[in-house]
Structure 1
Amino acid sequence: MSCLLIHGGFFSESDQSHDTKIAKQNALKEIAKKSFEFLKNNSAEETVVFAVSLLEDDELFNAGTGSQIQSDGKIRMSASLMNGETQKFSGVINIENVRHPIEVAQILMKEDDRVLGGNGAKKYATENGFEDFSTEIPQRRKEYEEKLKNGGKGTVGCVALDKDGNLAAATSTGGKGFELAGRISDSATVAGNYANSFCAVSCTGVGEDIVSNATAAKIVTRVTDGMTIKNAFEKTFSELAEIDGFAGAIGVDKNGNMFHQESYPKMVFASFDGERMTVFE
């Protein structure tokens, strides 16, 4: 049974409007449907890249176009991909001026050196045909200017199970906003994005908390060791609570069981299996 989940960070009732909430719900439903159609004829790895690239193109979410701006006024993005069947992980860290960081991560799958950062990542992207592209939007610049006077926490991701039983996870982020220049999130690490032949997990939230808790890797390892996906999530999030961690995660196991959890409401997500669509409320 093929299925997938996507996430788009967090939604705060206190600082985001009802109209924004409806827009995010509609966007997630549309992207989930398009991605499931793609999944019918493509692998889990190809599908999670496809889904995350759509999320990177949507200005509602903090990845690709619409990414947050760091404290020095620049946008630096991170993204990673993991194929559960091959157990290969690839990613880019703090890459600048590319439209789809997740697609650069995908190209890196063929390399021996599969995680690149900063200027090296940008140079590799250019050499592989990725054109210069500004991902800044006026709203992010306005938010940045406000922060200079005195965050929003979000990332996007997808996990998928394909018709052949293969799993994959992809995650992309524009950071938490106004962070120290060069700060590295969880999104291009196995703490935030992990998959094997048993389970695939993608995280969102505060990267430092997710890394401290090794969230994605813990959940996948526990499912591999025999826990149900529900129990693996609950155990891992109980440990996250011990450090008051701010995170959300989506996951799917090899049997098509999907699960999501958050430490603070509310994570923006959608799941679809061809019949049932579930969207955050």
Structure 2
Amino acid sequence: MRGFFAPIAAASVALLALFAAPATAQDTPGWSIAIHGGAGTIARENMTPEQDAAYRAALQRALDAGAAVLRDGGSAMDAIQAAIEPMEDDALFNAGRGAVLTWDGDIELDASIMDGRTRDAGAVAGVTGIRHPIDLARKVMTDSPHVMLAGTGAEAFAASHQLETMPPEWFETTRRREALERMKAEQLSALDVDIKFGTVGAVALDADGNMAAGTSTGGMTGKRWGRIGDAPIIG
């Protein structure tokens, strides 16, 4: 399970937050974490003060969760998962709850994670019902002989490890449903509907000098035929 890793660079960084602890005078390694929220491209004139505050607060919660792990001496891998999971739970982002809908009105999720210390990686694609795809991607890395699992196979693997699932209605939001309906009614492309898609993610460096990164996304509005984007593709 070795390879090169660039899912963070592949994503459009719509909203970015960074926290770092500098090295001490004794040259003890510091730690740092950066996150990005897959909110798409939002023009300033189209965002209300309330929306701006909501996005900033959501990003801060995710950043704080990852930073807390690193501040307590935790690993970069744990920090990545801690930062991404709150964004997968937040309907503001295109990952987990609040993800965009496929052409058939479903939600199919992709995620990937990589440990820079070992270059081990795990990824999942086209999964449904998994509350935290980033958790599943990490399980693929640590508990399977494979790098990537997709669809029903990935879901069966998740069930065998008792990962948390949620019903379809938990993931779906009105704004994503309306975006799909507008796309079909006006015969728009996904770019016309979403301007630019979103992928949440994080990259972290822990106090031991180890780096990790991960991404999670719902992909493109109206995607068909089991489409898989670049976020779960290692390299």
**If the TM-score is normalised by the length of the shorter chain, which range does it land in?**
0.7 to 0.9
- TM-score, normalised to structure 1's length? 0.65
**Residue aligning to 1:127:** 160
How far did residue 26 of structure 1 move?
2.1
Whether 1:167 and 2:211 are equivalent positions in the alignment is yes
Distance 2:224 2:44 in 1: 26
Secondary structure at the aligned position of 1:109 is classed as helix
How far did residue 74 of structure 1 move?
1.2
Contact (CA 8 Å) 1:90, 1:115: kept in 2 or not?
Answer: yes
Secondary structure at the aligned position of 2:93 is classed as coil
> How many residue pairs were aligned?
191
- TM-score, normalised to structure 2's length? 0.77
In structure 1, runs of 5+ residues without a counterpart are: 192-281
Alignment of 1:217-232 (within 5 A): none
The 1:14–1:146 alpha-carbon spacing in structure 2 relative to 1, beyond 3 Å, is farther
How far did residue 14 of structure 1 move?
7.0
Secondary structure at the aligned position of 2:37 is classed as strand
1:93-146 Cα offsets, whole Å, 9 max, x none, are 111111100000111122211310011011111111124313222222222222
Distance 1:33 1:119 in 2: 34
Distance 1:26 1:11 in 2: 18
How far did residue 148 of structure 1 move?
1.8
**Residue aligning to 2:22:** none
Distance 1:57 1:165 in 2: 29
**Residue aligning to 2:98:** 66
Distance 1:16 1:103 in 2: 34
How far did residue 35 of structure 1 move?
1.6
Secondary structure at the aligned position of 1:82 is classed as strand
1:24-68 Cα offsets, whole Å, 9 max, x none, are 122212321222012223100111011111110111100010010
Whether 1:140 and 2:169 are equivalent positions in the alignment is no
Distance 1:176 1:108 in 2: 24
Secondary structure at the aligned position of 1:176 is classed as coil
Equivalent position to 1:12, from 37, 42, 53: 42
Distance 1:170 1:131 in 2: 19
Whether 1:3 and 2:35 are equivalent positions in the alignment is no
Contact (CA 8 Å) 2:65, 2:82: kept in 1 or not?
Answer: no
Bigger strand fraction: 1
Letter matched to residue 206 of structure 2: D
Alignment of 1:1-281 (within 5 A): 1-9=30-38, 10-13=40-43, 16-18=46-48, 19-41=50-72, 42-110=74-142, 111-133=144-166, 134=168, 135-150=171-186, 151-152=193-194, 153-191=197-235
